[in-house]
Amino acid sequence: MKQGSEPADGTAGRTDRETLNSYLDMHLFGATNGVRLFEAASRSWADTQHGRVIAGLEKDIAEERRQLRRVIERSGHRPGRVKMLVAHGMARLAEVNPVNPWRRKTSTGAQLELESLLSLLRGKESLWETLIALRSIDPAADGLEFSDEKLQELLEEAREQQSRIAEVISSTAADRFLKG
């Protein structure tokens, strides 16, 4: 049986730190790119009524990424160098805003840009859900320094952030898809 999985008799296994660290590395990789995509979207939407919402989310996402990195490092793990080099390279590409390079709010690029942000936030929600589930199976899996309350707070924040982007999508969809 793989370390960290639940045995058939219902007793909890031990967390496989190597697998967990790899998983956290991938979320840090995603968060690095997410920060840049939010920065690009913030520039795209700066002159609109939604600019403030996206700019606020940009700051939140950047802080959450710093928090995740600190927690990973405090657990004694160092993120993979190659993964992080690739992440930073892709983040530079994201600064150019490959999804909406002309920063048009009425294009399919704008729709895809917003959907990309929503997808990033959904991935973050999944991270917190996974850590909550893991903690419920193996309370000692706590080497991440997040309390149960903090994990729940981060989960709710990810859901609220998704709601804010979904509101931007729904309130601007007509501008992109309706003629007239």
Q: Give pLDDT, residue 30.
A: 87
Q: Which of the residues in the chain have pLDDT under 50?
A: 1-5, 7-11, 100-105
Residue 138: name the closest of 24, 19, 9, 13 by CA.
13
Tens digit of each residue's pLDDT (9 = 90 or more) over 66-103? 988 888 887 788 776 666 666 556 556 555 555 544 44
Residue bearing tokens 């709010």: 105
Long-range pairs for 57-66 at CB < 8 Å and ≥24 separation?
Answer: 57/117, 57/161, 57/164, 57/165, 60/157, 60/161, 61/31, 61/34, 61/35, 61/120, 61/161, 62/35, 62/38, 64/31, 64/124, 64/154, 65/28, 65/31, 65/32, 65/34, 65/35
Where do the domains of the chain lie, and which CATH numbers do they carry? 17-173 (1.20.1260)
**Angle at Cα 92 formed by Cα 86 and Cα 95, nearest 5°?**
145
Residue 127: name the closest of 11, 4, 54, 24 by CA.
24
Q: Give pLDDT, residue 2.
A: 47
Tens digit of each residue's pLDDT (9 = 90 or more) over 146-160? 788 988 999 999 999
Measured from the Cβ of residue 93, the count of other Cβ atoms closer than 10 Å reads 13
The amino acid at residue 32 is T
Q: Give pLDDT, residue 144.
A: 64
Q: Give pLDDT, residue 96.
A: 53
Q: Give pLDDT, residue 177.
A: 82
pTM of the model: 0.78
Q: Give pLDDT, residue 50.
A: 94
Q: Give pLDDT, residue 22.
A: 86
Residue 24: name the closest of 117, 128, 116, 120 by CA.
128
